[in-house]
Chain A
Amino acid sequence: MAYCLVFVNTNNGHPLLVRSTNILERNEHTPEIILNLLERPSDNQIPLALIGILTSSYTFSTKFGITLRSCHTDDCTIHFHQYNDHLLMCLLEPTEYDVPNECTQYKLVLLRTLFNMIIGYEYIDKISQTNPQKLENDLNLVKYYVDTILNDERTFSFGDLTQCADTLCGFDRNIMYSCLKQISDNLQCEHVSITLSNRIIASSTGWSRLTQAEQYILTLLIALNDYSNDILPTVRDMPVYLDSIDRSHNYRLLSIRVLGQVYVSILCSATPKMSEFESTVDRYCHSQTEHIQNLNSLLYPRSFHDNIIFDHNVQALIYVNRQTHFCVSTLEPTKTSTPLSRTIKKHRYGLLKQFYMEIVRIDKEQILPLGNINNETKMNEMYMLNDDDSQIEHKCYFLREQDYFELYVLFDVNIPTIALRGIAKKTLMMLRKNL
């Protein structure tokens, strides 16, 4: 999905940060191409004149008491988000994707949370007026994370869409909860989490009280190097700001890679030292090495324990529990000896995401508005067959039970349409027992 973010100073129209997924996609090629891009501005880079028009349109309307939320061109939708009195975020997306407003707005919330968490709202607010050049340099810190949010195919998770925390399913959480409690008690820290890549295995009450956006960004920071094919550090100590606790004071996100993609992370102040944190985690996790090893090998990257077996027609799915605000997803529901290729995963991810957004769009529209205005009829089941030139390309099914439990399934195209409902029902029943 192509996106572009412009973070601009409305006082002078100077762009402080511009990131585009088109450029990102090119960056995944050889260094020669990147060098060419750096030397020759490409057509994917946004001209300064366009940034000027965006900024002036917004400030012009504000002068007349109108807050411009979004505008459309033939091929592009531009969303505006006022960061503060003189900073504006513009998110550009192709109109053809028809992304529901709710999803775009949440992406802007995630980006705002990211800026606040890494650089700090008060710092940005102050320095944007006194030293914008320095702010431009400081924003280099967030570039990689912005790119990951814009280009969510890097993470293959759905937390940014569902607004729930990504988790895993089908294993006994008790051992990890007891480990987490011992670490929490020993370090006297109320914000602790254990994650597998960017999915939460267990988290303390304090951690789950953070906003969904904060939890999403934190897991992104923890699992960052998993996506970049870079070295995997053992311990990391990152200064972060948490608006939901106290935005004027920085916290430390201490994170340790225990084994494989399993991390233990805490949010703390001046103590503990990194070495103390490492020895504490070692003390309480060492006896559970075998269990953690099993979690890592059984749950990654499928997200479901081996004992959860799906119908062979299921190609990908998202299960959301709106009561607990957790979601679990997989792009490879059937465990095979050879891992699925990235191309197939990307394709499935794109289709499932498109289907999810389609349901959100329909769901948010007023269904049957005639007569009783209070009649809040909700759509609880829907199937979709997408075709191209009369040939069916894929089949999807949506199922909701008791308002809270939602299932979105991407099926193999050869499944008889009549079987979709039965398999979806059976799958949801099985997942509800586990999460």
Chain B
Amino acid sequence: MATLIVDDHPTALLDHQWLNSDQALECLKAIKERTENQLRDFSLLFNPTLPHSIVTKQYRYKILLVGKTGCGKTSLVRALMGKEFSTLNSQPTLGIQTTNIYWPVRINQSTKPVFMFRLDFWDVGHTSSTRFDYIDKDSVDSLDMIIFVVSAADREGFNELHRLIEEKQSQCSPSRRFISLVFITKFDQYPVLTENDANEFQTKYNISVYLLSNAYSTMRLATGYLNLISEKLYRRDLELTGQL
């Protein structure tokens, strides 16, 4: 079962309960598969259409996934779409691939506006990024968030994580701060890392760490993670514009 380490912001900027309302159901209907309880694959000319009376604005965010080959970056994107998180039989990613996830949010303000967040997940194949310089340059441009993915069986990778985070921070523009998150995957498969390791890392570096198992990925779990990601992105936007 996936474990969520408690977030450090007690006051939410987004109204997460709104997702259970009739209005939210109408939004979710536009972004979900008709037959299965998972998010749809959208494309360049196929976007969710929602009435302007509900959704007032759309915001676009760039989220980069960083991690070693086979740690489950692509599988994490699958899980965030409510699809099965499975690293079995998966093929290594070649170069960069971007997947767009649309997620509606309602802001905790007096007017209660509803925004559609377009989360562009940039999944970068580790082998390609180490061999071809251009991939790193393109992927860190105008970043909003980096999700560092590490396998629970990879102690060495976990120990190097902080150095990697610092390296990425140095590559990005200091005026445009990005958010860092850590996902530890495959927690049900011969884990070397423990929850204690994750807790210690979170406390020491003040970076949120989430644990994910291969099994039990559902839309409910995806909803939780997408809410978290949206919350952090919105908070950062307000901080950058001096509204918080």
Q: B46: nearest residue on chain A (CB-CB)?
A: A259
Contact of A233 among B46, B88, B123, B128 (CB under 8 A): B123
Mask: chain B, 68-103; 1 = CB below 8 Å from A; 0 = not: 010000100110010100101111101111111000
Q: Which size bracket describes the interface of A in this complex?
A: 35 or more
A258 & B44 in contact (Cβ 8 Å cutoff): yes
Given the known inter-chain contacts A231-B78, A270-B134, please indicate yes or no for A236 contacting B95, CB distance below 8 A: yes
* Chain A to chain B: the 10 pairs with minimum beta-carbon distance, closest first: A144-B91, A233-B97, A238-B95, A232-B41, A257-B43, A237-B96, A259-B45, A236-B97, A238-B94, A235-B98
Is A221's beta carbon under 8 Å from chain B?
Answer: yes
User: Please, how many residues of chain B have a CB less than 8 angstroms from a CB on the other chain?
Assistant: 36
Which A residues, 221 to 236, have Cβ-Cβ distances below 8 Å to chain B?
221, 228, 230-236
What is B's interface to A at a CB cutoff of 8 Å?
A: 41-46, 69, 74, 77-78, 81, 83, 86, 88-92, 94-100, 120, 123, 125, 127-128, 131-132, 134-135, 138, 141
CB distance from B197 to the nearest CB of A (A): 26
Bound-complex Cα distance A202 to B81 (A): 32
B91 & A260 in contact (Cβ 8 Å cutoff): no
B95 & A285 in contact (Cβ 8 Å cutoff): no
Is A196's beta carbon under 8 Å from chain B?
Answer: no
A234 & B94 in contact (Cβ 8 Å cutoff): no
Bound-complex Cα distance A230 to B83 (A): 9
B44 & A118 in contact (Cβ 8 Å cutoff): no
Is A399's beta carbon under 8 Å from chain B?
Answer: no
Bound-complex Cα distance A256 to B132 (A): 20
CB distance from B82 to the nearest CB of A (A): 11
A231 & B98 in contact (Cβ 8 Å cutoff): no
* 15 residue pairs A–B, Cβ–Cβ below 8 Å: A27-B89, A31-B89, A230-B78, A231-B78, A232-B41, A232-B43, A234-B120, A237-B95, A237-B138, A239-B95, A239-B131, A250-B132, A258-B44, A282-B45, A286-B45
Bound-complex Cα distance A118 to B98 (A): 19
Selected interface stretch from A62-70, A273-281, A329-337, A358-366: A273-281
Bound-complex Cα distance A252 to B135 (A): 10
**Which residues of chain A have C-beta atoms less than 8 A from B92's C-beta?**
140-141
Is A138's beta carbon under 8 Å from chain B?
Answer: yes
A140 & B69 in contact (Cβ 8 Å cutoff): yes
B127 & A138 in contact (Cβ 8 Å cutoff): yes
Q: B90: nearest residue on chain A (CB-CB)?
A: A230
CB distance from B60 to the nearest CB of A (A): 10
A258 & B43 in contact (Cβ 8 Å cutoff): yes
A285 & B94 in contact (Cβ 8 Å cutoff): no
Bound-complex Cα distance A281 to B97 (A): 17
CB distance from B96 to the nearest CB of A (A): 4
Q: B132: nearest residue on chain A (CB-CB)?
A: A239
Bound-complex Cα distance A76 to B98 (A): 43
Bound-complex Cα distance A286 to B45 (A): 7
Is A143's beta carbon under 8 Å from chain B?
Answer: yes
Bound-complex Cα distance A185 to B128 (A): 29
A259 & B74 in contact (Cβ 8 Å cutoff): no
Q: A148: nearest residue on chain B (CB-CB)?
A: B91
CB distance from A282 to the nearest CB of B (A): 6
A273 & B127 in contact (Cβ 8 Å cutoff): no
CB distance from B88 to the nearest CB of A (A): 5
Bound-complex Cα distance A231 to B222 (A): 15
**Which residues of chain B have C-beta atoms less than 8 A from A228's C-beta?**
91
A258 & B45 in contact (Cβ 8 Å cutoff): yes
Given the known inter-chain contacts A31-B88, A231-B74, please indicate yes or no for A281 contacting B96, CB distance below 8 A: no
**Which residues of chain A have C-beta atoms less than 8 A from B90's C-beta?**
230
Kindly name the residue among B44, B100, B141 whose own CB sees the greatest number of chain A CB atoms within 10 A: B44
CB distance from B188 to the nearest CB of A (A): 12
Bound-complex Cα distance A292 to B46 (A): 11
Bound-complex Cα distance A91 to B113 (A): 62
Is A34's beta carbon under 8 Å from chain B?
Answer: yes
Given the known inter-chain contacts A233-B99, A239-B128, A239-B135, please indicate yes or no for A256 contacting B46, CB distance below 8 A: no
**Which residues of chain B have C-beta atoms less than 8 A from A238's C-beta?**
94-96, 128
Is A434's beta carbon under 8 Å from chain B?
Answer: no
CB distance from A124 to the nearest CB of B (A): 13
